Each structure stands twice: as C-alpha cells, then as structure tokens.
Homo-oligomer: A and B are copies of this chain.
Amino acid sequence: MNRIRYDWKRLEEAAAELFMRARVPHNHAQTVAQSLVHADLRGVESHGLSRLPIYLRRIEAGVICLDKEPEVVKQEGAMALIDGSNHLGAVVGVAAMDLAMSLARQAGISFVGVRHSNHFGSCSYYAERAIEQGLILLVLSNAPEAMAPTGGIRPFFGTNPIAIGIPAGSEPPFLLDMATSVVARGKIALAAKKGEPIPEGWAIDQEGLATTDPQRALLGSLLPIGGAKGYGLAMFIDILCGLLTGAASGPDVKSLYDNWTQPQNIGHVFLAVDVRRFWPLAVFQDRMDAYIREIKSVPRQAGVAEILIPGEIEGRKMREQKANGVSLSPAIAQELEQLCAAYGVDWGRTRINA
C-alpha cells in the first residue's frame, strides 16, 4: 500500500501558515514548522507534524505564551542562561543554539542553560544546524515523568534525551539522538493498540515487576538503558537542565498533553565546541572521514549488509524524502487536513501528484 507523499517545502509552508493563523509571528512560525518537518523528513514521525495539533491547542488555550521573546538573563564568559518566557520550544531552542554557537566561536566552548521552555521537537534539529556550521553540539533536555529511578516503581524522570552532532566531510556526519529510556512510550502504546506483547526489558508494571504486557507497562514505568547507568544519565540530564537552570525537574515538568493550566517549564542545555580550535575544519573532516571508513570496514555479523554511523539511516531517509516527498501516516495527514480547513489554510498543495 503506497502512502501519499507530500512536498517537504510545502509542508513547511502549510505548517508555518497554521501557526501564523494562531498569532505566531512569521519568523517563529517558520522555525517551528521547520523543526517539525525536519523530524518527518528523517522518518521520526513521533517528533514531526504529529505534534503540530497539540502545539496549536496549547497556544489557543494560552498555556504557551507568545507575548514575550526568550530572554538572555545572564551571559558571562562562555556561559549563558536563557529564560524561554514560556514561548514555543523550538523558538527557545533556536535562540539558545544560536547563542551557544556564537559563544563557542569566541571561547572555543560554550554552555547555554535554558529554563521556562516547552517541548522543543527533535534534538537532532539543533545538532544538524551545528554540523552545518562546523561545530560540535551537545543538546540535553528534560521531559515529563516516564521512568522510575532504579529500585523505584513510580515514574520520576522523563525519557530525557541527549543529542550530539559532529561534522564529517564526505562521509555522513555523526548525529546521535537518543532517549535515555530503552524505548519511547509510543512504541509501547503501539503494541497495546495492536494487542501484541512487548519484549522484556522495556518497562516495569505498577509493582515494579518486569512485564511483557503493554497495558501493564503503560500504567508502570519505562526502563532506562543499561539499568542503573541509564538512571544515572537521566538524572544527570535532569540536574543540568532542571536544577541548574531553574526550570522544573523530576515530576514537576508538566505534561504536553494532560496539563492545561500550567506551563511545562522544560529545561535544556546547549553545549557547543568549536572544532577549529583544535584543527582546521577541513583537516578534522578528513580525520572523521578516515575514522568512519575504518568503522565501516569492521567485519560484520552474518546478515548485516553494512555498519551504520549514528544518524546515517535518518540522513538517507531525509535525502530520499526531500527528493520524492514525505510519507505521512494517514491519521496524521487527516488531522492536519482538518486543521487546515478550520484555519483556512490550503492543504491540497502539499500533496505530490502520483
């Protein structure tokens, strides 16, 4: 069954127009639209246009605030602290990323903490921008509760993601974008919908017992990668993004979906390193290329056609979908079409005639 394909540039336009109808200024509407379509292009549907409807609803409900721009509350040496003013997460994220990149060019390294932000889309969006500029970027964010600490049975930490972008030359860049949980909650919800069991090691139930029943898992907690190691990583990210910046932390980070009275108050950290302080960029890129080729030449397991670099599959998907159109799930496409109709935005132009 072939899905309908959509032109990525026109998807960006339609998404930006939807945000503008909801009073988001032109430049910010474009930023958020780009960050969402970026995820769809990479095949990461969970962080793509599937989030547009909830962003819009939160703007309309006044839980996301458009009146005040993100503000630099402190900048000293190579560090800065940004108050996101409860604006759209991607708007806050891009402001922080730009500042981190500019500070890193001055000082070789930078650390920008962010408080009072919202869901800021896929971390890879920021890492990819940095790669284009020849910088190394580390992006951290906390998130609403989903994982218990090791030994516990109630969610406390979010699936707190970490993304890292490192430029290469002719080989694909290093673009790691990972949650600190074994899987996303969405994968368990999907198994529940299909009535299929989940592998052991994904989640625990409400009593803290290992479970392969997705329904019990959804009432319990996700498990972190590597047991206590992933718990440690999720806690580290929460401390930096939440406690250090002054954003919410642990279960005080509010849900994107279930809380209609309070801002999420998510925190992020953007840490940039300027490669040029160590090597001329072209030399570093050559070194990365040789290194990546060395990894790719490691003997492989039977049935493995190729060793992949983090982010490589998603990068290929992006190139393919830029050329041939973006595949959206019919449910998401239908929801966007209805929203466009309600807001008076032309959805039809996004479809590629097949």
Contacts and interface: CB of A to CB of B under 8 A. Distances in A.
How many copies of this chain are found per oligomer? 2
The majority secondary structure among interface residues of chain A is mixed
Contact of A244 (B209, B275, B308): B275
Interface of A: 74, 76-79, 81, 106-111, 113, 136, 148-154, 156, 164, 166, 174, 176, 178, 182, 204, 207-209, 225-226, 228-233, 235-236, 239-240, 243-246, 249-250, 271, 273-275, 277-279, 284, 287-288, 291, 294-295, 298-302, 304, 306-310
A307 B209 CA distance: 16
A230 B176 CA distance: 10
Contact of A235 (B107, B235, B295): B295
Contacts of A284: 243-244
B235 A77 contact: no
B77 A109 contact: yes
Given A235-B295, A277-B76, A294-B250, A301 B208 contact: yes
A185 B20 CA distance: 56
Given A244-B275, A278-B81, A298-B154, A232 B107 contact: no
Given A149-B295, A229-B225, A278-B246, A108 B108 contact: no
A182 B277 contact: no
A78 B78 contact: yes
B156 A298 contact: yes
A149 B298 contact: yes
A249 B291 contact: yes
A300 B208 contact: yes
Most buried by B among A136, A149, A207, A306: A149
Given A232-B310, A250-B291, 7 more contacts: A109-B111, A151-B300, A152-B301, A225-B230, A243-B284, A243-B291, A244-B279
A166 B273 contact: no
B109 A79 contact: yes
B243 A287 contact: yes
A79 B226 CA distance: 32
B308 A164 contact: no
Given A77-B109, A150-B308, A244 B278 contact: yes
Contacts of A106: 77
